[in-house]
Structure 1
């Protein structure tokens, strides 16, 4: 969400490079190139800017409320942040009977790790260099294995944040 496209031209270019859609206020002196959702309006008046920010904030709150309502949660009653319970999937690795291990080379053809969300070619190479080639390896990770791999490969919590273990379990079963 951009109010002044002239002052935020660099941010718009970065969003384009990353494929992030941009909603922006377009005034008569604004360049609409790179704007996914142009909104014709005044981008100079303080009262107008306050109105836009209030509307965006209300829309965000409304979206959060609707999403929480779909889960049957009263966000007004929530004291702690909502946690989606993916932890229930953790014991499945132990039940599968396949122990977690790092490999020096893939067993057969490596799995297409690009199917995991947030994955890129450099990250796949980093995981391969660290001994991870197959979905079953991710699926067999215990919380302790996950933490160790995350620290050893300097992934910054990405395995857990992106939900690779749960995704890998689904892909390994497919």
Structure 2
């Protein structure tokens, strides 16, 4: 468990310094403690509370396996964000925000694949067959792509959340995330509008020390979520292995206790023997059949995993909550629902979700319900935002 930040630490880092009073946004009034020398002072107790709330949400998103995209293009933030975020293997944008990064994600992915194709040219020798001028042009293109998009080369689908440093500067990124209903986390200063953000952290977004301490807490929370995901996966795999081994031992013990010469032809049974035992035994009794079937059902259930509706491309945390409240709390139920019915549920839940297109959600839910995760991921990688 990471050490919780204290108000004293935030005070020393200058997190409480806001902007000039004449530049303030009135919507930030609840988070302002006082005014001194023409500058607003942020209430650090509320900063700590909001930070804990945001960290808990980021931890859950990281534990679910979704990526969190960090955006910080201002000079005093880019190096800090790149260093901290790289440690938790999350994508980040620290150069110019490419327009359509989220809303036109398919085109951005093509640019990323262009980098991979250039790298293949250099490996297979094709690059050396080009003229000197062409090689120079290709190298310049590769360097430009690496500078702008290198950090998102492994982001094969839309992120599960967006973390922004200075929403005023990154307003285009915020608008794109809002359009796609992607949760927005942000460091919000006294000159910004907190209504644009789902999880805000009232703080000084101009000082490097302030950005450093906030990013440290945020990345620590993400690291905890990733560690939890890893441990849960390991324990799940171990549990499945133990179930198979226990069932196999039970089947073998039962076979040794009975006289198999009369009921079953002599066959060589090796562990794990569940599937082979059913195939080789010609006349199994009902008790044995039940013992063989039981682990198969539990294994099928394990393959499907938890019904986390956010694994459907286009379904964010808020949309998933709306579906669950409407009774569509499993992949199987969503797969049987009509797209127009899902659309009505989303529209009634929030006007901000009225633009979502759930046409492909039943199809994706069907693949998830059947445990076809590889097929689902391949489909999502080829389709923009879950809309065919």
TM-score by length of 1: 0.45
Instruction: Select the structure that is richer in helix.
Output: 2
Over alpha carbons, which structure has the higher Rg?
Answer: 2
